Structure formats: C-alpha cells, structure tokens
Amino acid sequence: MDFSMWFRVFTIGTAVAALAGCDVTKEMAVEKGKDMVASALKDPDSAKFQGVFMAENQAIGDTHYGFLCGEVNSRNSFGGFTGFRRFVANFNYSKQGSFEVSYVTLEEGVNAKINSNGASYFQDIYWLGKCEPKPAPKKIEQISADLPITKTAAAESKKTTKPNTMKTAPTAVPGGAKWAVQVASMSDASQAASLQEKITVGGFTSYVTTKEGKTRVYVGPFADRAKAEGQVEELRTKQLLKGFVVRVEQ
C-alpha cells in the first residue's frame, strides 16, 4: 500500500559539531537535533518546536542511537503557519560532538488518514513503538463449560500442569577465541535478545554477556583480529549496525 499521500518523508545529511570544554549531553543533542530537523523544512527560520525528546534504544561506545520525537510548526509556501504536527526521525549523537538526523517523517496534521481503529496511520506505523511503547494486546478470556472432573482426569491434570523449571543457560564463549565485535550494550535484556536474534537471522554468529546490569551483544568470536575487523564492515552494510572490535573476556 502506498502511504506517500499521507506522510512527508525526507532525508537530511550528517552534521558534525564540536562543543569545546564539555561532553555532549542528551539535552544538548536534542537541541542540535531540532536545528537539523528545521533545516529540512520549507522555512527553517520559522520553525517552532514543542515536546521534543529522544527515545534512546541502544548505545555503542560513546554513541547513542534512537529516535527524535516531538511536534513542529513552521510556515508553508504561502507564508502561513501549518499548525503543530508530530515528527519522528532516526537520530544518533556521540559525546565527542557528532550528530546525525535522517528519515524524518512528518504527520500530515488535519489531513491525516484514519484507520479502522480510529487512529492515524502515522500513530500506528511511526509513533508507537518508536516514541511511545506499543500497548499490550488485549487478553482474551476463555470461558469453558463446567464439566464434572473424574479422578482419572484430575490425576492427569496434575501430571501435565507441573511448572517448567528449566533455565536457559547463558551463551558460552568458545575456548581459544580472542576477538569479537561488540554491537550493543543495553540495560534491557529483552531488547538485547531481540537484537541478537536479528543478527543471527542475518547470517552472523552472535552471543551475549551480562555484567553489572548491562547485556552486551557481540558477533563472533574469532581467532584473529583481522576476521573480526572484516565483520565490522559487513555489519554496517547488511545490518546497519556500528560495531567495534574488542578482546574476548574469557
């Protein structure tokens, strides 16, 4: 289905800035991100923002990745303000002062198409899951008829309802391997598991480690550094992930 009539999607380049004397904070990065989003509008100088924030989903080294979310109002081709509309953009920044904004998606405001659930397509496709967590699916309660339970059936029920006490063992690092590519460090173990699954489906060998409340996702391990460095470029082109080579902790 073609959504081009409902959203404006555009890409702007990478801007690099150096803020002398201090590390870049998330608040500083958001302010820079607003300037970069404004630069892609019809009248950048007229842009007014409200409720802008970064929804971070991972950090690799000193670089933080996620989405820039908020509302923007600016003048159109006729010189009038369009009214505040939500936007979502891919966003990353590093503490060293580099920033990148791409794939900015702007809601069409009063012209936004509404789906059968009463929500805009922008809300369902772009906003939820990136800027706000998706709502949990409604539980369907199963109603069963009250049937008499025989002694045999009760005994079988006890046999089949024993709790599963099996625990999943952590992924082991093969002996002799010295190098790996770290692609993420997350505090949310479920997000780390999802990323590992995505990497594995893409044809890479992946494992995770957990230490001090952080789950780190790796590709590898490898016996020599050259093989690990070769995977960095493949991860960038095939998975759009920025990794770096590390020595394996045995």
Q: Within this chain, do residues 116 and 37 fall inside the same structural domain, yes or no?
A: yes
Q: In this structure, is residue 163 part of a structural domain?
A: no
pTM of the shown model: 0.49
Domain residues for 220? 179-247
Length of the chain, please? 250
Q: Within this chain, do residues 40 and 108 fall inside the same structural domain, yes or no?
A: yes
> C-alpha distances in angstroms, 87 versus 92, 98, 113?
16, 21, 16
pLDDT digits (tens, 9 = 90+) for 94-128: 888 888 888 888 887 666 667 666 777 788 888 88
Q: In this structure, is residue 152 part of a structural domain?
A: no
Residue 2: DSSP 8-state:
-
Q: In this structure, is residue 215 part of a structural domain?
A: yes
Domain boundary among 92, 112, 127: 127
Q: Within this chain, do residues 119 and 224 fall inside the same structural domain, yes or no?
A: no
Q: In this structure, is residue 52 part of a structural domain?
A: yes
Domain count across the chain = 2
Q: In this structure, is residue 135 part of a structural domain?
A: no
CA distance 225 to 56: 30
86 close to 71: Cβ distance less than 8 angstroms: yes
pLDDT digits (tens, 9 = 90+) for 122-181: 888 888 889 998 777 766 555 555 555 555 555 555 555 444 433 333 445 555 668 888
82 close to 110: Cβ distance less than 8 angstroms: no
**pLDDT at residue 40, rounded to an integer:** 82
CA distance 194 to 153: 40
